[in-house]
Amino acid sequence: MVEHLLQFKGASKQYGRKTALQDISLTVGSGKIIGLLGSNGSGKSTLMKMAAGLLSPSSGSVEVQGLPAGPKTKSMVSFMPDRPLTESWMKVKDALMFYRDFYVDFDMEKATHMLEFMNLKQEDKISALSKGMNERLQLTLALSRNAALYLLDEPIGGVDPVARGKILDAIVEFYHEDSSIIISTHLVRDIERIFDEIVFIRDGEMVMHEEVEQLRLKHGKSVDEMFKEVFAE
């Protein structure tokens, strides 16, 4: 039996009485860049945290390569949260060493290479980095692990359009084709060029999962046009 890289089967998540995700069934294969798109509060971060094994579903299941998402799957998944894991006293080089010590699959050579591409210096103090530079660092840390699945939660939220282009170039440049990346964002237009597939979630429900190519062929629409149509208020 072929095991899927990531599979949600009727997964729901409640926070108390609030339903953040409702009956999500989603299968993700290898070698894809997937856009997880939805407006604020639609459930993107919740879905990411469930895929990362940090939150368990209230009902249904979430599996990574056939194993329930949780402690056993953490080594297969590299998660870039929307808030940094590094400490403000650190220099960039300390953050690299922290990751190297913490994750056996951390590739220091790749990280050094990627830092250069991102115009970050090892001696830079993290507390002095701008929001956009900090995002570049977090992305470098997340992508420098050798994982099967990368989860990037809002990786371009804090940066201007030029820097966004740079970050997207870095994702494509340093992406390993056997792995998959899920990127959550509401900045659809700036980022759609790198997606193979898109998932739309609205009010905790998955309303579309489609290959970008199919979207263009079947509907004659760009992802951005489709997004505006689905999420029109």
Ligand X SMILES: Nc1ncnc2c1ncn2[C@@H]1O[C@H](COP(=O)(O)OP(=O)(O)OP(=O)(O)O)[C@@H](O)[C@H]1O
Residues engaged in binding ligand X (CB under 6 A): 15, 18, 20, 38, 40-46, 186
Nearer to ligand X, 202 or 216 (CB): 202
Q: Which residue's entry shows tokens 């998402």? A: 69
Q: Are 77 and 152 in contact (CB under 8 A)?
A: no
Other residues' Cβ atoms within 10 Å of the Cβ of residue 222: 16
- Plot region of 23 (φ>0 → left; ψ -120 to 50 → alpha; else → beta): left
Q: Are 57 and 49 in contact (CB under 8 A)?
A: no
Residues shown for the chain:
233
Nearer to ligand X, 10 or 31 (CB): 10
Q: Which residue's entry shows tokens 């402690």? A: 71
Nearest distance in Å: CB 209, ligand X: 16
Nearer to ligand X, 12 or 42 (CB): 42
Nearer to ligand X, 167 or 201 (CB): 201
Nearer to ligand X, 43 or 111 (CB): 43
Other residues' Cβ atoms within 10 Å of the Cβ of residue 35: 22
Report how far apart, in Å, the C-alpha atoms of 218 and of each of 88, 139, 212, 222, 228 are.
48, 34, 10, 11, 17
The 10 Å CB-count burial string (b at 16+, else e) for 153-188 is: bbbbebbeeebbebbbebbeebbeeebbbbbbbebb
Nearer to ligand X, 111 or 206 (CB): 206
Nearest distance in Å: CB 17, ligand X: 9
